[in-house]
Amino acid sequence: MGTDMMTIEHLHQEELLSRDELHDLQLKRLRKTLKTASASPHYARTLACIDPEDIRSLDQVRDLPFTTKEDLRRGYPFGFLARDPGQMIRMHASSGTTGSPTAMFYTAGDVSFWADLVARCMHMTGIRAEDTFQNLSGYGLFTGGLGMHYGAERLGCLTIPAGAGNSKRQIKLLKDFKVSCIHIIPSYALHLFSVFRESGLDPRDLNLRIALIGAEPHSEEIRTRIEELSGMKAYNSYGLSEMNGPGVAFECRTQNGMHLWEDAFLAEIIDPKTGNPLPEGQLGELVLTSLNREGMPIVRYRTRDLTRFIPGTCACGREHIRIDRIMGRADDMFILKGVNIYPMQVEQILMSMPEVGQNYLIVLEREGFIDQMRIKVEVRDEFFEEDMRVLKGLAQKITRSLQQEILITPKVDLVEHRSLPRTQGKAERVQDRRK
């Protein structure tokens, strides 16, 4: 091993592999993946001219075709299956609300390996078998709920499948069972803490110590708020159903980027416009190839998620590459008055201001022939109760800060706490009313 096993508190030996060992394992598993994938109807066509044994270097992955969400939709339901459907024990699917759905299939081995990966992630943050884990994530076809659930059980935790929503019931479970660790969507975490406050309770008085957050892009300012309001350490996570679900990448205790498990996934960062590889440290689109899936391997999947490889080795000692927090999606960017804008830029400014509450909404609208951006910002109760001069000054302060960041001047509407719509799932941050 390239790392002294005594220096890292690890769950699996794969966490300790050196860069050379990881590259050798990835190359071996890439060849196997290509051979397995070629048994599916889709890859039988797109990989027909590829001999896996000709792959001598990981750089040759760039010669392989990309796989896109549209490919998965066209292949619905069985076009990507590499084994007989009778060998599958699980199926997860997208909702299909913006087009045809996508379906992901798992063998028993896939589910077991997935549980191992999630358990590894949780263990890395400090969760142990003696912890009680409450999963405040949706179950069903969404992979986040079951993925975290099976990982927690694999680790040996007492696991409470609370699901999403019903905040007062969530709080009761947290109190009654002395829950120490939770999995929660960041936007719902902020909402839950406001329900605590309205109920005269403080989450810092409970047994909580670790929050696993993810499923939606969020800023460092959101993480800081979660930690300050709850007293927990909040660890960022990344996953997507096309690569199993949660467990693709996770923060260790240093909270300095998410370790992407390279024994399970081959990662690239590309220019989303050209498809060309980008150097380490440069922001681009994450492309992933599964390396250990049996039933439905996916080759060079364009995630549309924007991140970067973080240079250098993590202080924790693990040599698995780290990715930065997801800065948004390549298709989330909107152009206003010739300026490229990502919602995350707005969030970073708003959440750095103590006067701002837990929610905001970006509204793109058209006045005559001119496109405008209006931002509705919830303000904490104690600030909203100030006189109009104070509120006007706050709106001007927010407007100036945003203008410096995004280079255009938005219209800012200050609204009361809890006046903007909330969902139990991923937060809606942008409404485009220009159509």
Phi, psi dihedral angles at 155 (to 5 degrees)? -75, -20
Model pLDDT, residue 407:
83
Longest dimension (CA), the chain: 73
Share of the chain above pLDDT 90, in %: 75
Q: Report whether 346 contacts 360 (CB < 8 A).
A: yes
Q: Which of 5-9, 25-29, 91-95, 177-181 has the lowest mean pLDDT?
A: 5-9
**Token duo for residue 224:** 């800081």
Count CA atoms within 13 Å of residue 148 on its CB side: 34
Q: Is residue 425 very low, low, confident or very high in pLDDT (cuts 50, 70, 90)? A: low
Strand 322-323 and strand 258-260: the pairing is: antiparallel
For residue 390, pLDDT beyond 90: no
pTM over 0.85: no
Per-residue pLDDT at 24 exceeds 80: yes
Q: Which residue type occupies 252?
A: C
- What is the full DSSP assignment across 252-269? -TT-SSEEE-TTTEEEEE
- β-strands 233-240, 245-251: how paired? antiparallel
pLDDT digit string, tens, across residues 145-166: 999 999 999 999 999 999 988 9
Q: What is the mean pLDDT of the chain?
A: 92
Residue 172 has pLDDT above 70, yes or no: yes
Confidence category of residue 358, pLDDT binned at 50, 70, 90: confident
Give yes or no for a contact between 415 and 380, defined as CB atoms under 8 angstroms apart: no
Identify the three-state secondary structure at position 195: helix
The 10s digit of each residue's pLDDT in 111-146 is: 999 999 999 999 999 999 999 999 999 888 889 999
Question: Which pLDDT belongs to residue 370?
Answer: 73
Q: Which CATH class is domain 334-432?
A: alpha beta
pLDDT value, residue 2: 44
Q: Summarize the chain as % helix, strand, coil (round to 5).
A: 35, 25, 40
* Cβ contact 295:88 at 8 Å: yes
% of the chain residues with pLDDT over 70: 96
Is residue 21 within a helix (H) or strand (E), and if so which, with residue range?
A: helix 19-37
Q: Is the pLDDT of residue 384 over 80?
A: no
As a whole number, mean pLDDT of residues 12-18 equals 97
Enter the tokens of residue 83.
């084994």
- With a cut of 80, say whether residue 270 has pLDDT above it: yes
Q: Would you place residue 5 in the very low, low, confident or very high pLDDT band (cuts 50, 70, 90)?
A: very low
Instruction: Compute the distance between CA of residue 122 and CA of residue 89 in angstroms, rounded to an integer.
Output: 24
- Average pLDDT rounded to a whole number, residues 283-289: 97
The span from the CA of 133 to the CA of 382, in Å, is 34
* 181 Cβ neighbours under 8 A, 6+ residues apart: 122, 127, 131, 132, 133, 134, 157, 208, 209, 210, 211, 212
Indicate the range of 2-11, 20-29, 35-44, 136-145 predicted with least confidence: 2-11
All CATH 3.30.300.30 domain ranges in the chain, comma separated: 334-432
In angstroms, the CA 199 to CA 175 distance is 13
Kindly state the average pLDDT of the residues 320-324. Answer: 98
User: How high is the pLDDT of residue 130?
Assistant: 98
- Which pLDDT value is given to residue 242? 95
What's the pLDDT band for 338 if we cut at 50, 70, 90?
low
Closest CA to 48 of 72, 65, 62, 66: 65
* Start and end residues for every CATH 3.40.50.12780 domain found in the chain: 1-331
In the sheet that 430-432 helps form, which strands lie side by side, from edge to edge? 411-416, 370-379, 356-367, 430-432
Confidence of residue 303 (pLDDT cuts 50, 70, 90): very high
Q: Which CATH class is domain 1-331?
A: alpha beta
Cα–Cα distance for residue pair 162/196, rounded to 1 Å: 17
Q: What is the pLDDT of residues 210-246, one digit of tens each?
A: 999 988 878 899 999 999 999 999 999 999 999 999 9
Is 82 strand, coil or helix?
Answer: coil
Predicted confidence band at 6 (pLDDT cuts at 50, 70, 90)? very low
The β-bridge relationship of strands 301-307 and 284-290 is antiparallel
Amino acid code (one letter) for 205 = D
Backbone angles phi, psi at 68, to 5 degrees: -120, 170
pLDDT-derived band at 98 (thresholds 50, 70, 90) equals very low
Q: What is the pLDDT of residue 4?
A: 47
Number of Cβ within 10 Å of residue 149's Cβ equals 21
Nearest to 326 by CA among 290, 286, 281: 286
